[in-house]
Amino acid sequence: MIVFPHCKINLGLNILRKREDGFHDLETVFYPLPWTDALEIIRDPNDSGTVTFSASGFVIDGKEEDNLCVRAWHLLKKDFPQLPAIKLHLHKDIPMGAGLGGGSSDGAFTLKLLNEKFELNIPDPVLINYAASLGSDGPFFIQDKPCFATGRGEILEPVEADLSAYHILMVNPGIHVNTGWAFSQLSPALPTKKISTIIRQPMETWKQELVNDFEGPVVHQYPAIGRIKSSLYKMGALYAAMSGSGSTVYGIFDQEIPVTPFTDPGYFVKKINPSVH
């Protein structure tokens, strides 16, 4: 079976406070977009007793055992010993370290695919708990619709947000932003207006009110990200922002996107129609 784990963008991102467990409370709106990886799982005919992992596309950093797809199989195997050995292939098209949640999506979609393919009958609330143990973005990809997220990002509330009438341009400058470093640069604070309120306003007001707290320090460290955002507004974007802790920047347009000026070596540019999701 093959599934297509997709990315997300953050519509606003406020870091509210640092918690005693070392994590941060935040608020954001997660919005799914149809920029996808591809994930295939088959039963291992050799019955190796574990998961055999292979990958293509973008080179995946780190050890194989740390890959979220592999970890997802081991998580379920502990509680469902009948889960068979598998061969898992992941084709990466979503850049990593880009603020798009690609790794969390791959892990969550692995959980869902294993559940369906091998008829484990795990209800969504339980799958969400498994996904949360893989990463704070994981539960969103189980629920998989626009959500207002709080806590570490795992407390989700469906929200009315519809970008299907718009066009989105995603620009990744090939910069890997370390999430731990990005959090260390912040001074958490409560916002004057909740993101869930702002996104119900006309999009023309978002430029002034809908912010990503990571943008300031990340743009200071990597000025190219700020230049991308400025260029998107010059192109006519109604709203432009960095997603997550970066480095991908997106622009939302109410008309067909013109020829883009982003031709720098190492840049990855993608036009997306949200209605396809």
Question: Hey, how many other C-beta atoms are within 10 angstroms of the C-beta on 82?
Answer: 8
Residue 65, Cβ neighbours under 10 Å: how many? 10
Distance CA 152, CA 148 (A): 12
Structure tokens at 189: 């604070």
Spatial strand order in the sheet of 51-57: 2-3, 38-43, 86-92, 51-57
* CA nearest to 246, candidates 190, 185, 188: 185
DSSP state of 207: H
> How many residues appear in the chain?
277
- Give me the active site residues, please: 8, 137
